[in-house]
Structure 1
Amino acid sequence: MSTSNNSPEQSQLGKTSAYQTQYDPSLIFPIPRAEKRAEIGLKIVDGKAINLPFFGMDFWNAYEVSWLNMRGKPQVAIVSVFAPADSPNIVESKSFKLYLNSFNQTKLAGADALLSLLQTDLSTGFGAPVQVTITPQEQFGKAGFQELDGMLLDRLDIEVDQYSPIPEILRADHSQPAIEETLVSHLLKSNCLVTGQPDWASVQIRYVGAPIDQEALLRYLIGFRNHNEFHEQCVERIFCDIMHYCKPQKLAVYARYTRRGGLDINPWRTNFSTGKMPSNLRNARQ
């Protein structure tokens, strides 16, 4: 599918949509990552960012997934999608929901048949291979919760009067020895790029480097409160701003966004490997 002219404004966001109930992969609406990456200073060549300062994953979880078995009986499951950060596209979330709903009256031979279609269609949409897992109904009871670990920035009693990101306030004390630290805030809120609807998240920042001013970091994160961007774009902006102004040796930013329309999107960006990806267990607000 071509994405050369796909912009958020052309998607189904904020528009009345007819919900298709028969399988239709054309509903997937890819949006190139390049334009927003250029905005935060990343190098774009031939419409694609190169020499990314991070790697990572977008973890998608879909809780409203249903299809019919070959006898017409409805089936339900939870679907998780793992899209690499270096894929050329994101998939607009409402189109993702419309696509999933197109299975509602579609007969499939089983979960493996669904998995095969999801893997193929979503890899095409993101423009790179994605991993898909399906949690069947009988395993719902094993789905756990886990909060992001780290020192809570929200404990700080600060005064705030700016609700747009001001990266210039970020700073680190380079006169001090490097430390390893994990910081968490539950006060990240941004808004949908198209509709302006609020997006709520918890964010975890792991770094090795000069001690980052925690009050300034919390003010910066709260500054996203009136900012309009998609989840993935916010996390990449946070990563690049901290790298530019605080210059840590290692940095990882992970945000767990609350679900909307049965979907949650959880971007993770890092410049170092810990040997494993972060857990995709949902937190209490999800």
Structure 2
Amino acid sequence: MVHRPDTLEHAPLGRDSAYPEQYDAGLLYPIPRAANRAPLGIEEGALPFVGEDEWHAFEVSWLNGRGKPIVAVARFRLPASSPHLIESKSWKLYLNSLNQTRFASQTKVEETLVRDLSSAAGASVSVELLGVDDSELAPQRLPGECLDDLDIEVSDYTPSAAHLTTGDEVVEETLHSHLLKSNCPVTGQPDWGSVLIRYKGPKLDREGLLRYLIGYRQHQDFHEHCVEHIFTDVMQQAKPEELLVLARYVRRGGLDISPWRATPGLTPPSLLRLARQ
């Protein structure tokens, strides 16, 4: 059974945790999205975006019916409309609870993951189990123009929407940066990532946009909320007709998280994974 807490008070993140010996869906720790969305003016049931949180787990294993270990890489997709995200360490502990559990088939493993994760998130979660040499895991590059070679001076390492300025020209373009860094709100550990912004609307000042993204360097928040923060700030400041914000965060503890948020009709590049993930 999945617990549904309202705070991080009892979350396993930042605490010493024994690795489980038995399968236990109760290890999953849901966190309501609403508390972090409210300060951004985002109302549940009236989201200004569509999107998903895409997770990859590289430490997935179970036993087949004869006790032989099977290993895989798992891809999970949680809808942004789910009322809960799932705290990452609890997810890792849950996956480790499968290690000594026998399953009759891979299909049974997938069915178990779908059931437990969907219950925790409060919405349907999709699950794919990939082979460790699957071609879908091959590294690729972010599309569009990289901002990282801009020679700018930076002194502000907290996000400030004031840096997001526009001109009169209307453009449709894709920009990205590998300089995204935020920090875990519980442990303070750094979360490194790359971010892609695709939009149609008044042209964003490149230097201002890069300063804004670098501003997350000392910001403490979950990956999913950082992306929603970026989306909300760009929409409010630049007022584009279309907007997609995608972050590809570097793996930590065997898990990587890649949230994306977009105006309806836009979708992220498919099967996109970066070398440092």
State the TM-score, normalized to the length of structure 1. 0.93
Q: 1:141, 1:38 → 2: CA distance?
A: 40
- Structure 1, unmatched stretches of 5+, are 44-48
How far is 1:158 from its partner?
A: 0.1
How far is 1:83 from its partner?
A: 0.6
Matched with 2:109 is: 114
How far is 1:168 from its partner?
A: 1.7
Matched with 1:283 is: 274
Q: Does 1:165 align with 2:196?
A: no
The 3 A distance-change label for structure 1 pair 25 and 163 is same
Indicate the SS of the match to 1:8.
coil
Q: 1:280, 1:228 → 2: CA distance?
A: 28
Matched with 1:46 is: none
Q: 2:62, 2:214 → 1: CA distance?
A: 40
How far is 1:2 from its partner?
A: 4.9
2:244·2:268 contact (CA, 8 Å) conserved in 1? no
How far is 1:171 from its partner?
A: 1.1
1:170·1:213 contact (CA, 8 Å) conserved in 2? yes
2:215 to 211, 223, 228: 223
Matched with 1:266 is: 258
Per-residue CA deviation, residues 177-236 of structure 1 (Å, 9 max, x unaligned), is x11010000000000010000000000000000100110110010000000000000000
Q: 1:239, 1:12 → 2: CA distance?
A: 29
2:3·2:26 contact (CA, 8 Å) conserved in 1? no
- What is the number of residues matched between the two proteins? 276
One-letter amino acid of the counterpart of residue 154, structure 1 = D
Q: 2:202, 2:119 → 1: CA distance?
A: 41
Q: Does 1:28 align with 2:20?
A: no
Indicate the SS of the match to 2:134.
helix
Q: 2:136, 2:50 → 1: CA distance?
A: 30
One-letter amino acid of the counterpart of residue 206, structure 2 = Q
Alignment of 1:240-255 (within 5 A): 240-255=232-247
One-letter amino acid of the counterpart of residue 183, structure 1 = L
1:190·1:226 contact (CA, 8 Å) conserved in 2? yes
Q: 1:268, 1:280 → 2: CA distance?
A: 13
Matched with 1:203 is: 195
- Percent identical pairs in the alignment equals 53
Per-residue CA deviation, residues 12-70 of structure 1 (Å, 9 max, x unaligned), is 01100011031100000000000000011113xxxxx1211100111000000001111
Q: 1:142, 1:54 → 2: CA distance?
A: 27
One-letter amino acid of the counterpart of residue 97, structure 1 = K
Q: 2:55, 2:207 → 1: CA distance?
A: 31
One-letter amino acid of the counterpart of residue 151, structure 1 = E
How far is 1:147 from its partner?
A: 1.4
Indicate the SS of the match to 2:276.
coil
Q: 1:277, 1:220 → 2: CA distance?
A: 22
Matched with 1:6 is: 6
Indicate the SS of the match to 1:210.
strand
2:58·2:72 contact (CA, 8 Å) conserved in 1? yes
Matched with 1:239 is: 231
Farther-moved stretch of structure 1 (146-155 vs 219-228): 146-155
Per-residue CA deviation, residues 71-115 of structure 1 (Å, 9 max, x unaligned), is 111110011001101010000000000000000111111211100
Q: 1:141, 1:272 → 2: CA distance?
A: 29
1:59·1:280 contact (CA, 8 Å) conserved in 2? no
One-letter amino acid of the counterpart of residue 75, structure 1 = I
Matched with 1:191 is: 183
Matched with 2:38 is: 38
1:252·1:272 contact (CA, 8 Å) conserved in 2? no
